[in-house]
Structure 1
């Protein structure tokens, strides 16, 4: 099912789709709340420890490796054991929250607020497009995956060989990539739900898809926020 129209769905399908996305957004919201509460606790009570842990490039690499490991294990369990995968999502949110504490210690509240507001606006707009468009966005997958790999490689190089121009360009590209990724993920989740529903995949598979979708959208929002923060910082430094 590559092309679909919300208006062509039966009342039962439309109602089920709305309930599914409500669940996805509830899980995503919980994960974001956990991350921000963790970040607040880190800034408020463990500022020195957080600064010491994340003060070296090697620790940044270690944290990156741990996060990749989390996502890998999550993908292995999400459909067979959605409950365990949800627990891993919360653990991942705590881990991300610890890294957000560094942001709280490094940037002023106004800049963080602007980045959050911008990320929320972009996320809502692109998610709405991805959900409502009659087109399948599956063809974007290859380009987005390639761009994502490029961003990761450049980010790793920037840890050791920082360059202001590369920093700014990477931020701009990152915002575009994750805005498009948000639309793509919403579109893909909608299509997958309809396919699962038609095939009778069952409640466990649907629950796994909801948890998996929550992680995807959580990552889209977080990366939009981080790249917007990076972009504001880059222009601020130029000023």
Structure 2
């Protein structure tokens, strides 16, 4: 695994080392910038779609979900019809498809696909504005942002090799995905609580792990002169950190969010 110090210990010194250092900073800025744009697209899409799906005007109501809130015809279609299953699993299908097609995409196409994925994720998450109060959503988002920043900074700066975490974290991730799917049908509060607690820990670990992996991947490519993949690597890095943030946010919201 290529560590940042490898740039200097492998005979890469002077101007070349400085060039890689500068390139790494630009690469990480692109990763975080792309991720941030994706987060903004998701938030705007979720807010806009929830607004179209719900109303406080009884004359426009197709179904009632609380004393003062109703679903519109659009809301019934995406939240209370079989279409909801497609919307629920669409982001997962999108991620697998994007990973499979990455070799055939240009960096510009990959970026557009990522933003399309962020929009689909916004559709999938739009129901949180009907389930949780706006205040609790904002509070949990702030908590997640602070935790994410600290964990990502740790992953970027630590000298410890985090590659050993990968297998454990992937096994844990598969476990909570399976448990979450099973619990869709069981509806067990105990399983939901356990998944949320474990999910926070797993995605916290993945944030640090993925950050270090993004950094090391750049160094490997830069040292071997592999410029073709650098643009795509930034998009895939942004996708990894985006998923870490979104999932950690959802797990924390499940634990601490105030329901409407």
TM-score by length of 1: 0.90
Higher mean alpha-carbon deviation, 6-15 vs 193-202, is at 6-15
Counting matched residue pairs gives 233
* Match status 1:32 vs 2:30: no
Give the structure with the higher percent helix: 1
Deviation digits for residues 161-189 of structure 1 (CA, Å, limit 9, x no counterpart): 01112211111111110010000000100
Per the TM alignment, residue 43 of structure 1 is displaced from its structure 2 partner at its CA by 2.0
Report runs of 4+ in structure 1 exceeding 6 Å deviation: none
Partner in structure 1 of residue 167 of structure 2? 142
Among 201, 212, 218, the residue aligned to 2:236: 212
**Structure 1 contact 40–101 (Cα < 8 Å) conserved:** yes
Deviation digits for residues 183-236 of structure 1 (CA, Å, limit 9, x no counterpart): 00001000000000011111x310000000011011011011100001114xx6
Partner in structure 2 of residue 4 of structure 1? 4
**Structure 1 contact 79–205 (Cα < 8 Å) conserved:** no
* Match status 1:20 vs 2:27: yes
Q: Structure 2 unaligned segments of length 5 or more: list them.
A: 55-71
Higher mean alpha-carbon deviation, 154-163 vs 59-68, is at 59-68
* Match status 1:42 vs 2:49: yes
The SS at the match of 1:134 is coil
Higher mean alpha-carbon deviation, 36-45 vs 63-72, is at 63-72
- CA RMSD in angstroms comes to 2.0
- What is the alpha-carbon distance in structure 2 between the residues aligned to residue 97 and residue 6 of structure 1? 40
Among 221, 227, 232, the residue aligned to 2:251: 227
**Structure 1 contact 2–136 (Cα < 8 Å) conserved:** no
TM-score by length of 2: 0.83
* Match status 1:124 vs 2:136: no
Per the TM alignment, residue 158 of structure 1 is displaced from its structure 2 partner at its CA by 1.2
Per the TM alignment, residue 137 of structure 1 is displaced from its structure 2 partner at its CA by 1.0
Pick the structure with greater CA Rg.
Answer: 2
In structure 2, relative to structure 1, the CA distance for the partners of 1:136 and 1:50 (3 Å cut) is farther
**Structure 1 contact 70–88 (Cα < 8 Å) conserved:** no
Q: Structure 1 unaligned segments of length 5 or more: list them.
A: none
Q: Pairwise mapping of residues 1-239 of structure 1 onto structure 2 (< 5 A)?
A: 1-5=1-5, 10-47=17-54, 48=72, 49-55=74-80, 59-81=83-105, 82-202=107-227, 204-233=228-257
